[in-house]
Amino acid sequence: MTGRSRTDVDWLAGQLGWRCRDEALLATALTHRSAGGKHNERLEFLGDAVLSFLVAELLYREFPEASEGELSRYRASLVSGESLAEIADGLGFSERLKLGVGELRSGGFRRPSTLADALEAVLGAIYLDGGLEAARGVLEPLYRGRLAGLKTTPLPKDAKTRLQEYLQDRALPLPHYTVESITGEPHEQTFTVRCAIDGDARTAEGSGSSRRRAEQMAAAALFDEFNAREPAQ
């Protein structure tokens, strides 16, 4: 890991155009829990909500003719762990992360989930430091190219979207997702999520390296379960 000649504040200003006033807050956003002490999980939680809102707002503005289902699908693509990790990697997050010795040795600073979490945490820090307008000013340039791609290339529907649309078409309740277990070492966890629908006995579980991925797997399994019981046309 390199790039430590500049402070985190200088680095953030150079990469994202925002000069954080609270250096300690930014340091926390860049600290993985493996490093011990104050880490970025709470900021990640906040940043996830800020990100989801701002991306939804951006899509609502940029795609005035898109349906609710299309907007949901676009948002899922833009806030996916893979998308966030790509953005964080391109910004050089791996050079600024603070991790424990074991996590460093295992290459944790290159792990997509760690990079994605750190980007969300930094967005949470920017929101606390400068408000929603500051977070919006940072986020929109990051997604400019990805928005252009959405306008030219249709996205396939993910499992959660397919399940939701299937249930809406039949006036059934929307699904809810519950984390059943989290196993494994902190740097290599497996999430198991249950997908269920109020008033229906059918449920399905899915597992993955992140909560989002496990939810997708559970949704796919439940969608298959419903389709298997559909009467032949």
What pTM, to 2 d.p., does this model score?
Answer: 0.69
Residue 177: what are its φ and ψ, rounded to 5°? -120, 135
Query: Residue 22 is encoded by which pair of tokens?
Result: 């609270």
pLDDT band at 76 (very low <50, low <70, confident <90, very high): confident
Query: Residue 75 is encoded by which pair of tokens?
Result: 């948002």
All structural domains of the chain, each given as residue ranges with its CATH number in brackets, are: 8-152 (1.10.1520.10), 159-228 (3.30.160.20)
Q: According to the 3-state scheme, what is the secondary structure of 68-104?
A: HHHHHHHHHHHCCHHHHHHHHHHCCHHHCCECCHHHH
Given 8, 44, 48, 215, the catalytic residue: 48
Residue 201 scores a pLDDT above 60: yes
Residue 129 annotated in active site: no
More confident call, 106 vs 170:
170
* Spatial separation of the C-alpha atoms in residues 126 and 52, rounded to whole Å: 15
> Mean of the per-residue pLDDT values for the chain?
88
Share of residues in the chain with pLDDT > 90 (%): 58
Question: How many residues are given for the chain?
Answer: 233
More confident call, 114 vs 106:
114
How much is the pLDDT for 187? 65
Evaluate whether 195 touches 212 at the Cβ level (below 8 Å): no
Task: Write out pLDDT tens, residues 35-51.
Answer: 888 999 999 999 999 99
Residue 3 scores a pLDDT above 50: no
Residue 48 annotated in active site: yes
* Spatial separation of the C-alpha atoms in residues 27 and 5, rounded to whole Å: 15
How much is the pLDDT for 130? 94
Given 120, 129, 158, 215, the catalytic residue: 120
Cα dihedral across residues 64, 66, 72, 76: positive or negative: negative
pLDDT band at 154 (very low <50, low <70, confident <90, very high): low
pLDDT band at 231 (very low <50, low <70, confident <90, very high): low
Q: What's the distance, CA 78 to chain centroid?
A: 8
Residue 153 scores a pLDDT above 80: no
Query: Residue 18 is encoded by which pair of tokens?
Result: 């925002």
